Structure 1
C-alpha cells in the first residue's frame, strides 16, 4: 500500500452566487485539470436567512453533472423537464445536465434558520456531453451508514466502501463520495483506488492528514485520546486537502474529532471549454450552446 501525499491544503474562499447567496468555494473556475473529473465545489452554509433565501433562480447547464448534498435546512428545485421536489437534511440529488437543462434551486432554512449543504460539479466526457438529462433524488434513509468499532461513521453516498454501495449510480466520473466522521484522537486509514484523483473537504472539527514524506505524529505538540497529535498540521473547518497518487489516505482526528468529505473520481483527460454553467470540449461547442440559449433551442426534445 502507498500513502497518498498531501499536495496542497487551502481554505475555501468566500464568494457570492445565484441571486446573492453567500457561500465558500473550495475550488472552481481555475485549472480544470487540477481535480479532473471534478470542476467546482461549493459549501453553502449560513445562519442568516437573508444570506441564502434569494437562492439560485432559473439558469442553464450543459455538459456536466452536479451533486447536491444537504446537511441542514432544505432546497426546493424545479426544472425545464417538469421535475420538482424538495431535498431535506441528509438527502442527495445528482443531476446529469447532459444536452441541456434549465433549473432553479431555492434554499430554505431549518426551523432555527440554518442552511448547510454542498454542491459538486463533475465533468462529462465528450461522448456523453449531449446525453439526455436526468435526475437521481436520494432520500437520507437510502444512504448506507457504517459505524466502525472505534466510533468512525461513514455515509456512502456514491461508490462502494467497506462492503456497502451508495444508491447513486451510472455516473460518468465513476466517483466515490463519502461523508466521514472520526472521533477525537482516532487515527484512521481509508483505501482509494490508485487511478482516481482525490480530495478531502473538512467541515467540522480538525484532522491531520498524513503526508508520505512527513507522517502524522512528527513534531508532536499534544496528546488527544491517548494519541499524539501534531496540532500545526491540522486541517480545520472549510479546508480543502488535495492528494497526490497512491492507494490510501490516513487522517488523525484532533481534539474535537473531525468530519470531512472524501471524494475521488476517474480523470477524463480531455480538453475543457468552460464558461459559467456550461462546460464543453471546444470553444465552437461553447459558442453553439450560448447561441442555442439565445434562440430558444437549448433544450433538446427527449429521445
Structure 2
C-alpha cells in the first residue's frame, strides 16, 4: 500500500453550533470527486443538540452514515426518516433540496457519524433530486475468520469470499464507501479498487505502519492510484474507505451550493431567495 498524502481533520462548527471535525476539499486538489468529510463524534449533547435546521443544497450529493445515535431527516420532497446507528442516507441534490437534520430525542448516549459531500458532474447538477436510505435494506456486512468486518455502505465490495452489494449503487463519480472494523492485532487487505481515487479515514483507534509508526484517528490517507489496501492495527481500528473517479472539473462553492461557475452560484442564490427550493 502506498500513501501519497496524509491530511488531518480540524475542529470547526456547522449547523446550529454543532462541533465537528472536517477535511475540506473544495479546492479540488486532493479529494476529487469528494468535496468534504465531516465527522461528528461526541458523548456531550451540547456538541450536537442544535442540529442542522432547514437549509438548501444544489449541485452535490450528501452521504450520511451513522455509527452511534441518530438524526431525523426531513426534506421538501416529503421524506421524513429517523437515521439511526448503522444506517446510511444519500441525497443527490441536483437542482435543489431543502432539508433539515436534527438529533433524535431519544439519542441520549452520544452521537458518532459522518456527512460526506460528493461532487456531481457539471452536466447533471441541474437534474431532479434523488433521495435514498438503507433503513429498509440495511448495509450488508461480512466478517472474516480473524474478526475483521467490512460493511458495504455504497457500491459493491468483495470481502471474506463474499460479494457485498449495497442498496446504494448510483452515487456520482462511481463513488463507493465501506466501513472496516479491525480487532487489535489484525490486518485487513484488499486488492486495488477500480476507482481512480481511494482514501482511508481513520475514525476509531489507530493504524500501525510497516515501519512501526502509529497513525491516529482523524487522519485521512490518500493512496496512490492503483495501490492495494493493507491495514494493520495493534490496538484496534475503525476505517472508512472512500473510492471514486475524479471529475477534474472546476469547482465554484458558496455555503451549501457547489456548481461549476460563479454565475451558477449566483443563480442558485437567486433561486433560493425566490423560494424555488420549496419548504419543509
TM range (shorter): over 0.9
**Which sections of structure 1, spanning at least 5 residues, go unmatched?**
210-215, 219-229
- C-alpha contact 2:25 2:34 (8 A) present in aligned 1: no
Q: 2:240 aligns with which of 261, 265, 269?
A: 261
Matched, 1:237 2:214: no
Q: 2:114 aligns with which of 118, 136, 139?
A: 118
Indicate the SS of the match to 1:90. Answer: coil
Greater shift after overlay, 176-185 or 90-99? Answer: 176-185
Give the match for residue 13 of structure 2. Answer: 16
| Larger radius of gyration between Structure 1 and Structure 2 | 1
Once residues 268 and 108 of structure 2 are traced to their aligned partners in structure 1, the CA distance between those partners, rounded to angstroms, is 41
Instruction: Report the Cα offset of residue 87 of structure 1.
Output: 0.4
Question: Which residue of the partner structure matches residue 60 of structure 1?
Answer: 56
Tell me how far apart the structure 2 counterparts of residues 281 and 146 of structure 1 sit (CA, whole Å): 39
CA contact (8 A) 2:27 2:251 kept: no
Determine the C-alpha separation between the residues in 2 that align with 1:126 and 1:145.
34
Name the count of aligned residue pairs.
275
Task: Please say if 1:246 is aligned against 2:226.
Answer: yes
Consecutive unaligned residues in structure 2, runs of 5 or more: none
1:173 alignment counterpart: 173
Q: Secondary structure at the match of 1:279?
A: strand
- Which residue in 2 is equivalent to 1:274? 253
CA RMSD of aligned residues (A): 1.9
1:11 shift after superposition: 2.6
User: How much has 1:140 moved relative to structure 2?
Assistant: 7.8
Distance 2:103 2:214 in 1: 31
**Distance (Å, rounded) in 2 between the aligned partners of 1:46 and 1:110:** 15
Change (3 A) 1:120 1:290: same
Tell me whether 62-71 or 44-53 shows the greater mean CA deviation: 44-53
Report if aligned partners of 1:72, 1:110 keep a CA contact under 8 Å in 2.
Answer: no
Q: C-alpha separation between the residues in 2 aligned to 1:246 and 1:49? A: 42
